[in-house]
Amino acid sequence: MYASSETFVVIGGGQAGAWIARTLRAEGFDGRVVLIGEEPHWPYERPPLSKAFLQGVADAESVTLLGAAQAEAARIECWRGTRVVSIDRAERHVACVDGREIGYDKLFLATGGRVRTLPGLEGLRSARIHTLRTQADALRLRAALTAGSSLLVLGGGWIGLEVAATARGMGCAVTMLEAAPRLCARTMPGVVSDYLLRLHQSQGVTVLTGIGVTGLSEEESGVAATVDTGELLRADHALIGIGIVPNTSLAVACGLPVANGIVADVQSRTSDPDIFAAGDVASHPSGFAGVALRLESWANAQSQAIVAAKAALGRADRYDDIPWFWSDQYTANLQMLGLPDRGSEIVARGAPEKGSGCWLMLREDGTAAGAVAVNAPRELRTLRKMFADGRLPVLSAWADTTIPLQRLPTAPPVVGAGLA
Amino acid sequence: MPQWHDATAAVDVTEGEPLGCLVDGVPVALFRLGDTVFALHNVCSHGQARLSEGFVEADCVECPLHQGLVDIRTGEPRSAPITDPVRSYQTRLVGDRVEVSL
């Protein structure tokens, strides 16, 4: 059957899990590969769940990352719809909730995250109250977003903003509540929050910031949220989009170090040399940030997973990408590079605040913190290359759009860049 | 028999700058590598991105949305997240015009 007697087991059937399995084969591993996922679906990409898939213009097949035929061709065994309940590191085997067990030579933890619940409302179950993490969640929410209905979005982060944009496109009235004083406050500086606020207001979303939710309940024909000003807000449906919590319990239970996420090195290896972690659940050292990061992005899940698979096969690849992610809202494509909120100085090229341009964020010591591009992928890409080389554009030239991107003079690398 | 369709003037396709056009209603991205013009279907096989808005890196085009690489000469995927080939079309120069066989 297989030239190698080894078995590699991947726990988690999302973006990271699928890329681990696929990379093992692409790199020539010829042992058994078993991928265990909790969802009934074949591994798929999640970004469309808040956009094209939610709207119904992308179907399940178009978001599938590793389908039945591909899995069969690559000899990847997918155990779908089951969950690992324990890892025995001494015996090197895992057990599933349905009674299946399997021994491993290398193990990969790509268990992702689960949606965060509102404090005090953990047990809340209602047909009108939604969260969004899986295809099933998206289908349920899609059915709720009928034209003319109203949606209350709790949380002004990326998921909330994307769902708000999609819901507006589907003809729904949208009210957004954010407890922080501004949108995306956890990861973005004020200029970006201000832009997002105006963008959504201009599209007819009622955005209320600095408002906490103290209660949420289903009524006869809708939902009602009590907010900390004492007001009661009603809508047909509500979406809770307040982030995810990494699924670290399996790692904790088998004694692997966890700090925010499962602690992994630049090769995605945990403290156990035969166990790797990748994707939303893993924390990794970032040369760019100078600290360990746990990122919840598509690019991170994919790239970290590829390195994990290669490392398990003895390759020397390292994962040290500069953080990068994007968001599509209405007709705006936003791309984020690095850690924009760590900047103290911001220099714009073009007019990102008006929907076309790119902000460059600098740290106090003059090194790169990050960048945010609004409908300006070329600008962001130029900076990505420069950051990777430890360089920055000369700021006066960056701000001058008469100087073409290809001819931007760069400032010499700053000593210590990226290690601050 | 290949069916040749006029696409554009050869001088319009410059090194390092992909050109998007419709050829008999089909979206096509044209690339110049040296003396040769190559044609790929203009929609990335991964997302809904136009490769003509991508970035040329050596013999590859980088998708503007997700940074996947596609071989300009063959349409073969060269890096994640692209796993399926992008359709590649034959081209020829007729006088000062580029023609594409769909």
Per-residue pLDDT of chain A (420 residues; tens, 9 = 90+): 799 999 999 999 999 999 999 999 999 999 999 999 999 999 999 999 999 999 999 899 989 999 999 999 999 999 999 999 999 999 999 999 999 999 999 999 999 999 998 887 776 778 899 999 999 999 999 999 999 999 999 999 999 999 999 999 999 999 999 999 999 999 999 999 999 999 999 999 999 999 999 999 998 889 999 999 999 999 999 999 999 999 999 999 999 999 999 999 999 999 999 999 999 999 999 999 999 999 999 999 999 999 999 999 999 999 999 999 999 999 999 999 999 999 999 999 999 999 999 999 999 999 999 999 999 988 999 999 999 988 999 999 999 999 999 899 998 765 444 443
Question: Does residue A136 sit in helix, strand or coil?
Answer: helix
Q: Tokens in use for B65?
A: 């949305």
Spatial distance between the Cα atoms of A108 and A270, rounded to a whole number of angstroms: 10
CB < 8 Å to B67, chain A:
299, 324
Asked if residues A194 and A204 have their Cβ atoms less than 8 Å apart, the reply is no
A383: nearest Cα among A203, A375, A373: A373
Residue A392 is predicted with a pLDDT of: 94
Nearest neighbour of B55 by CB, restricted to A22, A302, A381: A381
List of chain B residues whose C-beta atoms are within 8 Å of the C-beta of residue A377: 53, 64-65
A120 touches chain B (CB under 8 A): no
Q: Say whether residue A299 is in contact with chain B using an 8 A CB cutoff.
A: yes
Question: What is the pLDDT, as a whole number, of residue B84?
Answer: 86
- Best interface-test mutation with A: which of B66, B76, B79 has the largest number of A CBs within 10 A? B66
Q: Which two tokens stand for residue A88?
A: 């025995």
Query: CA of A133, closest CA in chain B: separation in Å?
Result: 20
Establish if B53 touches chain A: CB-CB under 8 angstroms. yes
What count of CB pairs under 8 Å joins A to B? 23
Nearest CA in chain A to B54: A378
Q: Is the ipTM of this complex over 0.95?
A: no
B8 three-class SS: strand
Best CA proximity match to A53, nearest among A126, A114, A132: A132
Query: Shortest CA distance to A57 belongs to which of A171, A166, A208?
Result: A166
- Provide φ and ψ at A31, rounded to 5°: -115, -165
* Residue A37 three-state SS: strand
- Find the residue in B nearest to A379 (Cα): B64
How many CB atoms within 10 Å of residue A75? Answer: 14
